[in-house]
Amino acid sequence: MSGERTQSALLGALGVALMLGAWEVIGQNRLVGMTWPPFSSVMAFLFDPSRQALFSRALTATLGSAGLGYLIGGLAGLAFAMLGQILPVLRPGTDRATAVIHAIPSIALAPIFIVLLSREAAPTALAALNAFFVFYVAGASGFASSSQTQRDLMAALGASGTKRFFHVDLPAAFPGIVSGMKLAVPAALIGAIIGEWFGAPRGLGILIVNAMQNFQIPLLWSVVVLAATTSLVLFSAMTLLERIVHERYR
């Protein structure tokens, strides 16, 4: 069993190495043209000491907006899911409203948030909106996963809807919510980055869109790699947390 696991880990590492190798070879030989830089030159650009201040300032700004939005959106999404669970009459309405909110294009909302809030707050608001959807879906399906028998028992013992919610539905939803916490990481980052496209003072998003428009190919790739790596690291941390919780609640 553990031999099989080592083998698949080795194969996986080889797969990633092959991908990076292909990236390098295509870039070195200009197989796709000037817009595909080799992996090594993107790394050199990314780790150039003279650009550390630029990248760390942008990353801090984006992580700040995404993190705050993640918290706000997460709490709001869970609260909205809770509303539908405690008062089941409202459930069809909450489902449809979240689906519609999720379907509104972020690029349409960004200018509205800039007017209503500010340039600085638009990335946070979009991150919150994206996280809201993921947390709502995770919460709503999680709360509903408590078994009918458990709910009947609570009803027979004369527990109120609220009491049942906190003693049965909420613990049952916990593994689902933790999975939502994981999936909301890239969602919140996308929200923050798109929000920054519309003229935030700093952040990864504004670097991406400026680099695209000004044909600064190494900068464009470096920032996208930075955003992807950040998301990957946070996502992996959440996957570990998810594994622990799923073991505990099985």
Partner 1 sequence: MSQSATANGPARPSLVGRIGRTLLNFWGIALILVLWEALVVLNDFNVIVMPRPWAVFADIWANPGLYLQNFMQTAWVAMGGLVLGMIAGTTIAVLAWSSRILNGLLTPIGLIFSSIPVVAMIPVLARMLGYGTETVLAIVAILSFFPFFVFTGSGLKLLPAGSADLFSVFGAKKHQRLFHLALPSALPNWTVALRLASANAILGAMVAEFLMGTSGLGQMLHAASQAFNTERALGASVCATIGSVTLFVLVVSLEARVRERWT
Verify binding: residue 228, partner 1, rule CB under 8 A.
yes
Verify binding: residue 1, partner 1, rule CB under 8 A.
no
Q: Measured in whole angstroms, how far is the alpha carbon of residue 30 from the centre of its chain?
A: 33
The span of 14-22, 49-57, 140-148, 163-171 binding partner 1 (CB under 8 A) equals 14-22
What does the H/E/C string look like for 96-137? HHHHHHHHCCHHHHHHHHHHHCCCCCHHHHHHHHHHHHHHHH
Q: Which residues, 6+ apart, have CB-to-CB distance to 53 below 8 Å?
A: none
178 or 194, CB closer to partner 1? 194
Q: Which residues, 6+ apart, have CB-to-CB distance to 158 below 8 Å?
A: none
The span of 9-17, 70-78, 143-151, 158-166 binding partner 1 (CB under 8 A) equals 9-17
For partner 1, the binding residues in 94-113 under the rule CB under 8 A are 94, 96-108, 111-112
How crowded is residue 107: how many other Cβ atoms within 10 Å of its Cβ? Answer: 12
- Residues in the interface with partner 1 (CB under 8 A) total 60
Residue from 36, 75, 144, 151 in contact with partner 1 (CB under 8 A): 36
CB of 235 to partner 1, least distance (A): 4
Binding mask 151-190 for partner 1 (x = CB under 8 A): ----------------------------------xx--xx
Query: CA 174 to CA 207: how far, in whole Å?
Result: 37
Structure tokens at 15: 């797969």
Task: State the Cα angle at 76 between 249 and 150, rounded to 5°.
Answer: 35
Query: CA 206 to CA 67: how far, in whole Å?
Result: 18
Residue from 29, 57, 93, 117 in contact with partner 1 (CB under 8 A): 93
Query: CA 139 to CA 142: how far, in whole Å?
Result: 5
The span of 6-14, 43-51, 140-148, 240-248 binding partner 1 (CB under 8 A) equals 6-14
> Which residues of this protein are in contact with partner 1, per CB under 8 A?
7-8, 10-16, 18-19, 32-33, 35-36, 89-90, 92-94, 96-108, 111-112, 115-116, 185-186, 189-190, 193-194, 204-205, 208-209, 211-212, 215, 217, 220-221, 224, 227-228, 231-232, 235-236
